[in-house]
Amino acid sequence: MWENLVPQDPNDFNVFSMATNARNLSRRQLLDGGIGLGALLLTAGAAKAAGHAHHSAHGQHAQHGHMDMSPTLGIVQDKRVPAMDQPLLEPEVRRSVNGVLNTTLRVAYAYRYIGGVKLYVRSYEGVSPGPTLRMKPGETLRIKLINDLPPNRDPMPADISRPHQFNNTNFHFHGSHVSPSGIADNVMRTMAPGNSYNVEIKVPEDHTKGTYWYHPHHHGSADVQMSSGMVGAIVVEGDFANVPEIAEAQERLLVLTQVVFDANGMIENFETLFPETATRFLAINGQRRPMISMRPGEVQRWRILNAGYQDDMLLELDKHDLNAIAYDGIQLGVMEPLKQILIAPGQRVDILVRAGVAGTYALNAAPYDQGHPSPTGTLARVVVAGAPMNMTLPRALPTPPLKSIKASEITNRRTLVFSATAPEADAAGHWQEFGFFIDGKKFDPRRIDHRVKLGAVEEWKIVNTHEHDDHVFHIHTNPFEVVSINGKPLAVPQWRDTVIVERKGGEVVFRSRFLDFTGIFMLHCHMMNHEEMGMMQTVEVYKP
């Protein structure tokens, strides 16, 4: 029946799919000694060889007055790029003009070179990450999304929580507080191959300023597309503009991804993604182990996005603190100096790094147990050299943009249970033997799982009964304030849009205000394998 829901009008939308299930917190460890970091993606073309044949070893071809300039049969010279240890490259930046960011995003297959490997995968604009979109609160994002992928080869399955039709897509502005309806941040839309679609998202004047991102969210195909590198950053500008120590720091964007592929350098089957150890290596901005240049005493601001399709990363920088100033696009009121930062799929963290003495330092993904070992290795190398700079870290940060939610404001409470089933021989099991559920049910786009009155202030408890894996809770449209984890109240509640829920009875309690927007949107596990296999629900905010 779902075939009939593919829009005939390219700008129609339907309640069929979309879904991002990201899997995040299980505990796994290293993927093979040394997963460096994902690597250079580049060029979408091949340079043809113009080889020429010699008529003889003595050069008589010149004497006879002609040369054979035909290409050597069967040989095409590809443009090679260094596998790793190259200067960090950042994505193209597209900015708003006169209050509107008007752009095109083309979805199509492209060749990428990364970590010395040639891939042929789905992409935005032929690159990964896609262009960085920068705008301000109160502005409008207008995108013409062109789906130039080939037609789907498979029919709609009876169970839509079986990965399917990998060339359907759509667009999600992750972390944004915007309308989930119409042609805005509506992940219920189906954008079928061979058509173009308009997306128009109005960002409110009072929207939080910070680091966000975009990715496809069509249920059935989102996991394959995100793992291919269909991700990109969105920066809502203006945070910390009045803090000189931050405003004067060089800004860098670090998009973390997990590089995965089959024997042909492609991602065409779900089996390529589902084994817990499927990731080949890690990447930053489509590069494997790039080099970040700093001068002694210099302060840089790093906007870090975990755009990986399934795993947490525990970050550490040799002999340096990671000074957090924002999480999930929401400013902190006090800087947090940390030796390690755990960042789950979908999460963002903004940090300040003050370089030490001259030398080379490794930015590592350290071992972390999320039910299986998370991927580890050197993500980048920070090279500190040159004339010293006398930059300082800020002594104070402005008041955070969102007010804490008091217990007296709560109008309703809910409990959601994340669970899963697995075969006895878990490690050897086929993906079809696993099941992922919320409140004992798989995702059904025709079912409304939660109805919330516009203006409500609610407290939710998310419980994970899964024995083997942590999960990563994410909800669209409205951020939430985490007040306790595993029964322990946080000394300082923390605003987020994505949070880890540990396995074996782990729980997270948060509070949220359901303001400004009505419509249907999603909550799900942001470990995308889990979401794709059913760990997602619908939420409808309604006006009485």
Res. 392 pLDDT band, cuts 50 70 90: very high
Q: Are strands 250-259 and 210-215 parallel, antiparallel or unpaired?
A: unpaired
For residue 192, give both structure tokens.
């079928």
pLDDT attached to residue 428: 66
Res. 77 pLDDT band, cuts 50 70 90: low
DSSP letter for 336, please.
E
Hey, is 249 helix, strand or coil? coil
* pLDDT single digits (tens) 455-464: 999 999 999 9
**Per-residue pLDDT for 53 more than 60?**
no
Hey, is 118 helix, strand or coil? strand
* Ordered structural domains, the chain, with CATH: 2-20+90-236 (2.60.40.420), 247-384 (2.60.40.420), 407-542 (2.60.40.420)
Q: Between vectors from CA 38 to CA 193 and to CA 335, what angle results, nearest 5°? A: 105
Measured CA to CA, the distance from residue 203 to residue 234 in angstroms comes to: 12
pLDDT attached to residue 276: 80
pTM across the whole model? 0.86
* pLDDT single digits (tens) 116-151: 999 999 999 999 999 999 999 999 999 999 999 999
* pLDDT single digits (tens) 510-542: 999 999 999 999 999 999 999 999 999 999 999
pLDDT attached to residue 15: 35
pLDDT attached to residue 267: 98
38 vs 228: which has the higher pLDDT: 228
pLDDT attached to residue 124: 98
**Per-residue pLDDT for 31 more than 80?**
no
**Per-residue pLDDT for 208 more than 60?**
yes
Average pLDDT over residues 487-495: 97
Average pLDDT over residues 265-294: 95
Q: What is the mean pLDDT of the chain?
A: 88
pLDDT attached to residue 423: 85
pLDDT attached to residue 28: 35
- How many Å is the maximal CA-CA distance in the chain? 96
pLDDT attached to residue 205: 98
pLDDT attached to residue 275: 83
76-80, 103-107, 143-147, 315-319: range with lowest mean pLDDT: 76-80
Query: How close are the terminal C-alpha atoms of the chain, in Å?
Result: 32
> Half-sphere exposure of residue 212, counting CA atoms within 13 Å on the CB side?
28
**Whose structure tokens read 């709609």?**
156
pLDDT attached to residue 507: 98
pLDDT attached to residue 42: 25
* pLDDT single digits (tens) 310-342: 999 999 999 999 999 999 999 999 999 999 999
16-20, 65-69, 109-113, 405-409: range with lowest mean pLDDT: 16-20
pLDDT attached to residue 503: 97
Closest among 370, 323, 326, 367 to 344, alpha carbons compared: 370
